[in-house]
Each structure stands twice: as C-alpha cells, then as structure tokens.
Chains A and B, each alone.
Chain A
C-alpha cells in the first residue's frame, strides 16, 4: 500500500468533517472544535506521510484521475497531482491550519455559532487543498471558487455587523472580477487544445501565437491578481479584516491569497512563455508591493497594517516570478506563510485582550489605544517581534533569506524599476511593521486617556493579562518555525531550486543558480547592473534604517512624526495615503456609476421590455390557444354530448305518454300488435319470413 494512492483523502476528510461539524457540532465538546483540529491534523499527517513516501521513492508527478463527466467526446476530469509544487503547499496549508484551529479554541471561546465557524474553516482548508492538488484547470477552478465562497462566509462570520457583511460581499465580488478573466483564459486554452490538464497545457500553450499567448497569460494572471489582492483588485483585503483574526491568519498565510501565487507557479510555463506577460507580472507585483507598503505607513488599525503587508509581500512574490525568480518566489511564499500566520495570531492575541478593556470591535484593533503591552504579554510580544523582524528581513530570520533572494532575482534579471521598488519597499516594510510593534508593546497603555477623552470614562484598573496557553503555544511553534526556517533556508536554497527544477524541466525551462528560471525577458528589462555592494547588504541596510526610523519616531519619540504629517507636503501625503489613494472611492464610484447606473439600468430595461415582452407574449399566446380550445370544447364537444342527451330526452318524453299505468291499455296494445302481425302474415307472408331470416333464425 502506498500512502500516495490515498492522497485524495487529504482534501476530502476536512470537507466531510465540515459537513459533520455543521450537523452535530453543537452537541460535541468545544462545539465542533475537535472536529476542526482533527480534520486539519489528519490532512497534516497524511501529507507528511505522502511527502516522505514521494521523496524516498521519487514518485514526483503521481497523478490520480477521476472522470467527472462525459459530454459526447469531451471528458471532464477531477485529477490530482502530487509533485514538487503541491507537496510543499499541502504541508504548509495543513500545518498552519492545524495550529490555527488549536488557537481558535482560545480566540473564539464563547462566540456564537462556533460549529458554523469550524465547519467553514474545515471547508476552507479542504478547498484550498483541492486547489493545490488539482492537476487540471477545471478541478483547480472548483477549489478556487470554493476558497472564494469560504472566505466570503468567514469574512462575514459576524454577519450581523453590517461592515462584516459588506466586507464579505466586497471580497467575493472583487475576486470574482479576476475569476472571469481567468475563466476566459482557461476556456480559450480548452477551445484551442481540447484539454484542461495543466501539465499538458503547460507544454502545449507556448506553441500558441505570441499575441494570444500573452493574452491568455495575462488573463490567467488577472485571476491570480483578484485572489492575491494585487493592484487594482486589492481593496477587498483590508476590508476583510472584519472577519475573526484567525480567519485573517489562515486567509493571509496559506489559503486564499496564496492561491494566486500558486496558480502562477503552477502555470508558469504558460505565463513565462511570453516576455510581455512576464513584464506585466513583474510590474504589477512590484508596484503593488510599493503602494501597499505606503498605505500601511499611516494605518492605525493593527490588523489592517498586516493586511497591507500581506498585499505588499505577495507583490514581492509576484515580482519575483515576473523577473524569472521561480525558486525565490516560492521561497518567499513559504517563509511568508509562517511569519504572517504568526503576526496575525499575535495581533489576535492582542486584540482579544484589548477587547476586554475597550469593549468595542473597532477600538480594540486601534493601535492608538495600545502601548506598553510588553510587560503583561511577554510571549505575544516576543513572538511578534520575531515575526516582525522576519517580515522586515533581518538576519538570520526566514524573511531575510527569502526577501534577499527575491531582490537578487530582480537584480539578476536586470530590471531597474522592479529592483528599486522592491528595495524601497523593504525600507517601508521595516518601518511600518516596527511602528506597529513599538506602538503596541512599547511605552504606556494609552487606552485610559483615549477613552477618557472620548467617552468621559473614569480611570479604572485594567486587568492586563497574557492569553491562555491554547493561544500562546501555536505562537511559540510558529515563532520556532520562523527561526528554524531562517536556519534551514541558506543551507537548502540550492537544493530547493534543484527540487523545483524537477517540475519545470518537463517544459524545457531550467532553473539556474539562485533558482532563476531561464526565460526570455522583455527588451525593456535589459541593461541594468548594480553590483557595487552585495544585495543582502543593500536590503539589510534599508531594513535596519526602517527599524531605526520607527524606533526614533515611536519608541523614543525624538523624531516628531506628528509635526511632519500636520503641515505642508506631509499633510497632503498623509491624506493621500490614509485615503488609500482613493482606491475605495474609485471602487465605490465604479460600482455606483458603472454597475448601478448603467449596467443595472440597461439590464432592468432589457428585463422589463425584452424578457418580459417575450414572457408576456408567450403567455398571451397561451391564453389565445386556451380560448380557442375553450370555444371548441364548449360548442362542439359539449354540443355533441348535449345533443345526444336532448334527443334521447325528447324521445323518452314522447314515448312515456303511452305508459299510463293502466294494465288494460297494455294488454290492448299487445292484442293490437298481435293482430297487426297476423294481418301482415296473412297478406304478405314473404315479409314475415324475411324478418325471420334477418334475425338469423333458420326455419
């Protein structure tokens, strides 16, 4: 028996357990929480076994195909593949899901609707595993949409709060915008090649005409942009912070937003075959990384800062893939998964505690109310510091190596724009994440004075405390993973690139030193080299600078940041950034004018006049037919029936006159009849015999 033959159980068990949790979760201890942990842990254990087996027996590329339906000659498959790409994602998704499920015990304790929460989380994990393991675009799309639905459900978990409900809607609709393009790209490939198998298409698609190839690549990438919240389809992600923090943690670290990056990794031969597509990916990625980081500079909502940082870091991954850095992109995905899950869980721990002080879901996330939490929450503070430094890219944590690799890839490709955007973003990243840390854990708790100002509360003693072990243990594990990855990555960087090369080599793409895919670049990219100092020195310098500025501004307060933003250019800049470049307004405008005023009115007109016209016409035709058939029924059918009835009735009425009830008259009639026949027989004997013959009586 091989474990890999049971790989389909990896996504199936969480999905089945999700249904069970929904049905009977209410009656089990922790309201279905154990099902949640069991489902994720099962996937983790099976994934580990499969990974071990695949690695020892070199079974990469194991496929298991299930025919879903046959339409004529066309067959649609649900097929899964275990290869270099999927096995890593399976491990990450199931490991982080398990930890977050455990953490949810503490964080979601006492919430209403827990079985629903755990069921949706399980479905979320299961559908992400489907997406990861899918070997053809159809099955991938099934997982893709299921992930979208689950994130909709989970972001809107507190659906009674209007912001949560509208954030869920926004997330769903924005990602749907990307999905339409992606579906169009997939449909074109299917139309052209008659197959949906990703591996086949990876080798077939580069044979397309270059213009179409670019278009298909860009369309598929737009799908990834929607899911991974890249510019301009990014506005949903910061609103998605209305969901529980655990949901944000899983959504940002391993499931929803990583799906886009994973799609680009999976379909890389299609995307990299066109230099234009690659350039598009690189520019979108680096630009997103930059503007999301700038937005994070002025945000006071602790969770939203992390949301911007996710967008920014995914931008890094996309930029890496765009400049051919296949292995760096994947590496950054892996290290980001751990430290971002950790950051969110730490933020959740802080928010959980703050909620008991300010009693308001909005204020409990506001960093202006925090401060000085280091002393009561040492574990949270230290693990968050590790994660923050990893995000900032400080030696020797995991983020240092992966971010360094990404920037190095940009340099190696020779793309000056991408390179400088990413380097400046490294500075901004270090600044905003340390700003978050200093504001949260340094100094004194600001909640009393803030509350007094706004609500005229009397100062009272706050019970500041660390979160329960069920929440802190996952934090420690994830912090440990971040440190360990920091130690592992430099050792295995090269073999990791060789490992991933195993996937790409089928399509004639080789991974060179540093995991750079050997692909053709756009002419714009050529002619840039910056090799005065090594890349790691540059990025570390910028990161340390960012940390120093944050320290000066928010810890020692020697740098008067308030004055900077309250006058002149600083104020305008602050305004632009806190308005998110007007992206939210733009969305609102677009949805109001385009969707509401034009499309919906056109649709309404079409519906009222054309569709209703057709429907009413059909109805009128039906009425007319009914009337004709009614007339036919009433006058012809009824006429015949009634005619028979009337005839018989009048005949009977005429006949009954001789039935008078006097016996003598009957006897008279008999006698008269007898005499009649006697006379008839006497005068016309032949007539009688012909009657007898007619009656068939032989004489």
Chain B
C-alpha cells in the first residue's frame, strides 16, 4: 500500500463520516461541520493527485483547491448567519423546523 492509496482511503473515510454527519443529524452546526468535512475530503483528493502529476497540471489542481477552501469559508460565514437567525426565531438551530413554505 503506497502513500497515494493511504491518502485516498483516508479521504474516503473523511467523506463517509461527513455524509453520515449530514444525514444523521438535524442540528445545523453539525451539518455545517459535516459539509466542511465533505469539502475537505474532496480537497484532499485534489491535492493528492496534484502531487503525483506534472507541474502545470499540479498547479491547476492546487489553485482549484485554494478556491474550494475560500468557498468553504464563505459558505460557513453565510451558513452561520442563517443559522443564528434560525436560532433566534425557533430557539433551536435545527433545519427541519424551517418547513413553513411546504404545502401541508
């Protein structure tokens, strides 16, 4: 088992943990963290493959990773803002509370 495969497997593990966190919990903060895990698993994959290819391809992959991290930061900021409001309205930050637009 070489280095690449190890990183790949750990990436899968992180991804599956994130997926589980996303599906199994309704707490908004937990879901936000789980999404962060999903993103980071993908980032890890990108960096892993970039490491093993030629320089110009590697640069593209690494720039994409940096974008992804920036995106994750933005998403976290917006997400936190929404969830704080959610908490203010319902007293809890659980996403299934916000179902008022659904037709009964």
Contact = CB atoms under 8 A, between A and B. Distances in A.
A671 B19 contact: yes
A661 B23 contact: no
A667 B99 contact: no
A2 interface: no
Contacts of A668: 23
B22 A664 contact: yes
Contacts of B24: 664
A661 B101 contact: yes
A517 B88 CA distance: 126
Contacts of A656: 103
Give the one of A656, A659, A664 with max B CB within 10 A: A664
A532 interface: no
Contact of A663 (B19, B95, B101, B103): B95
B96 A662 contact: yes
A660 interface: yes
Interface residues of B, number: 12
Interface in B60-104: 95-96, 99, 101-103
Interface string B18-59: 010011101000010000000000000000000000000000
B19 A661 contact: no
Contacts of A660: 102
Contacts of A659: 102
B96 A661 contact: yes
Contacts of A667: 19, 22-23
B27 to A, nearest CB: 11
B92 to A, nearest CB: 15
A661 B31 CA distance: 16
A668 B19 CA distance: 9
Nearest to B24: A664
Interface in A643-680: 656, 659-664, 667-668, 671
Nearest to B25: A664
Nearest to A660: B102
B99 A661 contact: yes
Chain B contact surface mostly: helix
A671 B23 contact: yes
Give the one of B22, B24, B101, B103 with max A CB within 10 A: B22
B99 A662 contact: yes
A656 B103 CA distance: 9
A661 B22 contact: no
A202 B54 CA distance: 118
A661 B103 CA distance: 9
A664 B23 contact: yes
Contacts of B95: 662-663
B26 A661 contact: no
Contacts of B22: 664, 667
A671 B23 CA distance: 10
B24 to A, nearest CB: 8
A414 B14 CA distance: 145
Contacts of B26: 664
Interface in A382-441: none
Nearest to B102: A661
Nearest to B34: A667
Nearest to B28: A663
Contacts of B101: 661
A667 B19 CA distance: 9
Give the one of A656, A661, A662, A671 with max B CB within 10 A: A661
A490 B22 CA distance: 137
A671 B20 CA distance: 11
B100 to A, nearest CB: 9
Contacts of A671: 19, 23
Given A664-B23, A664-B24, 17 more contacts: A659-B102, A660-B102, A661-B96, A661-B99, A661-B102, A662-B95, A662-B96, A662-B99, A663-B31, A663-B95, A664-B22, A664-B26, A664-B96, A667-B22, A667-B23, A668-B23, A671-B19
The 7 closest A-B pairs by CB, nearest first: A661-B99, A661-B102, A663-B95, A662-B96, A664-B23, A667-B22, A667-B23
Interface of B: 19, 22-24, 26, 31, 95-96, 99, 101-103
24 contacts: A656-B103, A659-B102, A660-B102, A661-B96, A661-B99, A661-B101, A661-B102, A662-B95, A662-B96, A662-B99, A663-B31, A663-B95, A663-B96, A664-B22, A664-B23, A664-B24, A664-B26, A664-B96, A667-B19, A667-B22, A667-B23, A668-B23, A671-B19, A671-B23
